[in-house]
Amino acid sequence: MKKIIYLFTCALVLNSCIVSIPLQANLDNQTMLLVENRNIKVDYTLVSNLVDGNITYVSVLKNGYKTFENANYLYPSETSFKKMWSSYFLSKYNACSQDLMEVKITLKDLALWEKAATSQGWTFLTGTRQVNLDAVATIYATVTYHGNTYEQKFEVTSSDYNESQRVQYGDYYYTVNLTNPTQQKSKLLEACLNKSIIHFENFVRTILLTHIENAKS
């Protein structure tokens, strides 16, 4: 019985180290303003090389040393990607149009990068830790329009800053953060996917301009 209780306690300790990043997958106001309403019917396919679950977290010390973690953070990467991109296509394209565009969007990678702005020695002496946090997405787009196929790969980054302070209260220590770190990560990932849609919108504009120029010649 004692052995069972011990194993159960160990499992709780291990699970407590895993952080679930909440899903936020809405098109923001900037995206809605920058992307155009198009009189084009889009036949779209969304493919994610990632599944809901562990998300890669890269920690970079001030001296440039990197560590890669794939087990400490959970995020619904596939769900978030497909929800946001589906919302974009359904809201900005005309399903009744006779003008057809075929689109395939592939999420190649989505990761979080934490870059230390203070050295470990400084943090040890002062209790202050400053970091720059990046959400980085890699997207591959294939578009077929009026018989021509266009392809583009783009990497998108959203960044923010956070600071933590170690505080002593009697014999106990606790940490105070400038910004809630879990919510910050969630918002950065959402912002990163919004940026990927804006990048794709610029790609579509180039395709349509190319089509117009070709039609003139």
Tokens of 99: 């003008």
Q: What is the pLDDT of residues 183-204, one digit of tens each?
A: 999 999 999 999 999 999 999 9
**For the residues of 33-90, what is the DSSP string, one character each?**
HHSPPBS-EEEEEEEESS-SEE-EEEEE-TTS-EEEESSSEEE-HHHHHHHHHHHHHH
pLDDT of 119 higher than 90: no
pTM of the model: 0.84
Q: What is the architecture, at CATH level 2, of domain 2-216? A: 3-Layer(aba) Sandwich (3.40)
Listed by start position, the domains of the chain span 2-216
pLDDT of 175 higher than 70: no
Kindly list the distances between the CA atom of residue 217 and the CA atoms of 147, 209, 211, 212, in Å, as whole numbers in the listed order.
16, 13, 10, 9
Tokens of 151: 């392809």
pLDDT higher at 99 or 180: 99
152: phi then psi, degrees, rounded to nearest 5: -155, 140
